[in-house]
Amino acid sequence: MNRFVTAATAAIVSFGLAGGAVAGVTEEDLLNDAATPGDVLTNGMGRDLQRYSPLDTLNKDNIQNLFPAWAFSFGGEKQRGQETQPLIYDGVMYVTGSYSRMYAIDLKSGEELWQYDARLPEGILPCCDVINRGGAIYGDNIYFGTLDARIVALDLKTGDVKWNKKIADYKEGYSYTAAPLIVNGLVITGNSGGEFGIVGEVQARDAETGDLVWTRPVIEGHMGTLNGEESTMTGTLNATWPGDMWKTGGGATWLGGSYDADTDTLVFGTGNPAPWNSHLRGAGTPSEGNTGDNLYAASRLGIDPATGEIKWHFQTTPREGWDFDGVNEVVSFTDKDGNKRYATADRNGYFYVLNREDGAFVNATPFVSNITWAEGIDETGRPIFVEDARPGNPLEADKGEMVFSVPSFLGGKNWMPMAHSQKTGMFYVPSNEWGMDIWNEPISYKKGAAYLGAGFTIKPIFESHIGSLKAIEPETGDIKWDFQNDAPLWGGVMTTAGGLVFFGTPEGEFIALDDETGEKLWSFQTGSGIVGQPVTYEFEGEQYVTIVSGWGGAVPLWGGEVAKKVNYLNQGGTVWTFKLPKQLAMAN
């Protein structure tokens, strides 16, 4: 492994940044992460994934006084998509880069303290760029995943490897790109690789040793494990899958999960069933005794963090046939009437609210325009399909009937995380307005080969814009305002008690909007497209904001006509950190 340690690192090891020993991060620290603005210990700025900061020093009146404090380059020739979220702890920023790298950066100076490079093997099979979405801190370690489907524990102070464990076999198409989730001393991971006929799974490991505690496959028919022994089967064999299709059924858990401490529940989303061709899976024309729903693909699952048992499920797109993954983050919140809810903005174009006790359906409303595949969502939460909008069955032909579908397979919303404001009660959802020509093709499974059975071309549906950041009222689904952008939005959103909504664009602009009106209040040009996730924190009495800039991700690789529209954008890899100085905090 490649690790670089500077003199500054040695100083930290000997004395600690504050002149004393660095205390380990506890479960209580993780539980309170959202309420402690001096650090950011978890993906989502809290395990509920609200991405809301209680800091209000920086606000609508003084946002114009926010200016760059330092910038850090990832360096080298590995300037690919940078979808990461930085973590902040004890005066150090920890941030991952493309090609499975981790950096520790001095928070005050922007100086590199150490670097870890996973040194990936030949033959990795990442679906959608060589990205990494961040790490997780617990005890004296930081954990992150690699593109060859491994999970690594590093020493916070030195970057030394504590342990390195295999999640799955990358040669079969597995990879790992999400930030891990830590609950009660367990490191919880999903897996990636849904386009290769893999099987989605959630795994829990002992944080200290890396030893497996439990595994939970998410496709019916597969057996879970607990403490090294078989536990229970997922679902009921062949209840919703024909024949042996479940054995390569997809459902990758590639975005990771959230944790609801109130109900002690892990909530994970699952990806598309494999292959894309729904007719091969019995989902195009369900037969008697088999619904064709292909559980638990394209679903949200509530999982017991101690045992890996599934508590409940909600399937957003049963009979899925458009690559509408159900992995989008599930955010815990309390609505205006005091009800404890989950919210999730699905790839299929609908914004869902669920009950937090049992995952039961509450409501769903469209958040993008011109949806074609369904007329709406019924009172049970099930879509009302437009059967003529399903890609046709190829039978003996080279391909089935082509349809134009909205949204495209990249979704009304893809991976890019939304934010919830406790101040306004609204969700701020990065979405895209596009459609696709899609058709089915014959396909058979081959280990390590793409397993789609479909072809597609993505197209914009409006001349004026593709990207659309929407403020949504969860109780009604009403869209209060809509900030439109020429290129697709592909990065995360953050909101603050200061009334600000932060996000970035592929054109390189880092932007702050008014949370109530959507008015642009501030922006900064970072020099490369932004697909990363912003954070804010307090350091030495001043408020800071950080975003990682570096264009890439799925759009340039899979975007069809849209990719051509943005092919002029430059790649990069820079951590931009801004601050509001004390003397300007009170200035208007």
Lowest mean pLDDT among 76-90, 218-232, 315-329, 405-419: 76-90
pLDDT score, position 11:
39
Residues 448, 197: Cα–Cα separation, whole Å: 8
pLDDT tens string 470-494: 999 999 999 999 999 999 999 999 9
pLDDT tens string 235-262: 999 999 999 999 999 999 999 999 999 9
What pLDDT band is residue 16 in, cutting at 50, 70 and 90?
very low
For the CA atoms of 77, 42, 1, 117, the dihedral, rounded to the nearest 10 degrees, stands at 0
Which residues, 6+ apart, have CB-to-CB distance to 373 below 8 Å? 322, 324, 348, 383, 385, 386, 389, 390, 405, 406
Omega before 275 cis (within 30°)?
yes
- The closest alpha carbon to 568, from 530, 531, 528, 533, belongs to 528
Work out the widest C-alpha separation in the chain, in whole angstroms: 73
Which residues, 6+ apart, have CB-to-CB distance to 181 below 8 Å? 42, 43, 47, 136, 187, 188, 189, 256, 257, 258, 259, 266
pLDDT tens string 196-238: 999 999 999 999 999 999 999 999 999 999 999 999 999 999 9
The per-residue pLDDT of the chain, averaged, comes to 93
For residue 414, what is the enclosing H or E element?
A: none
Share of the chain above pLDDT 70, in %: 95
Which 8-state DSSP code applies to residue 533? -
Q: What is the pTM of this model?
A: 0.95
At residue 433, what is the residue type?
A: E
pLDDT tens string 429-461: 999 999 999 999 999 999 999 999 999 999 999
What pLDDT band is residue 284 in, cutting at 50, 70 and 90?
confident
Taking residue 237's Cβ as centre, other Cβ atoms within 10 Å add up to 12
pLDDT score, position 239:
94
Cα distances (angstroms) measured from residue 76 to each of 99, 550, 553, 572: 11, 13, 18, 10
Rg (CA), the chain: 22
pLDDT tens string 93-118: 999 999 999 999 999 999 999 999 99
Which 8-state DSSP code applies to residue 15? H
Share of the chain above pLDDT 90, in %: 86
- The closest alpha carbon to 550, from 569, 568, 572, belongs to 572
Mean pLDDT, residues 40-63: 98
- CA 479 from centre of chain: 23
Taking residue 486's Cβ as centre, other Cβ atoms within 10 Å add up to 14
pLDDT score, position 588:
55
pLDDT score, position 77:
64
Q: What backbone phi and psi angles, to 5 degrees, belong to 194?
A: -60, -20
Sign of the torsion angle spanned by Cα atoms 81, 82, 84, 85: negative
Sheet holding 150-155, edge to edge: 136-138, 141-146, 150-155, 161-166
Residues 154, 159: Cα–Cα separation, whole Å: 5
pLDDT score, position 562:
87
- Residue 526 · residue 510 · CB < 8 Å: yes
What pLDDT band is residue 7 in, cutting at 50, 70 and 90?
very low
DSSP 81-102: ------EEETTEEEEEETTTEE
- CA 38 from centre of chain: 24
What pLDDT band is residue 20 in, cutting at 50, 70 and 90?
very low
Residue 497 has pLDDT above 90, yes or no: yes
Question: CA triplet 259, 139, 154: central angle to 5 degrees?
Answer: 100
Taking residue 380's Cβ as centre, other Cβ atoms within 10 Å add up to 7
- Residue 435 · residue 406 · CB < 8 Å: yes
Neighbour-count burial for 162-178, b at 16+ CB within 10 Å, e otherwise: bbebebbebebbbbbbb
Mean pLDDT, residues 551-580: 89
Rama region for 23: left / alpha / beta (φ>0; ψ in -120 to 50; rest): beta
Residue 517 has pLDDT above 90, yes or no: yes
Q: Which residues are catalytic?
A: 323
Question: CA triplet 190, 308, 146: central angle to 5 degrees?
Answer: 20
Fold for the domain defined by 2-256+263-282+295-330+344-584: Methanol Dehydrogenase; Chain A (2.140.10)
What pLDDT band is residue 6 in, cutting at 50, 70 and 90?
very low
pLDDT score, position 288:
73
Residues 582, 527: Cα–Cα separation, whole Å: 27
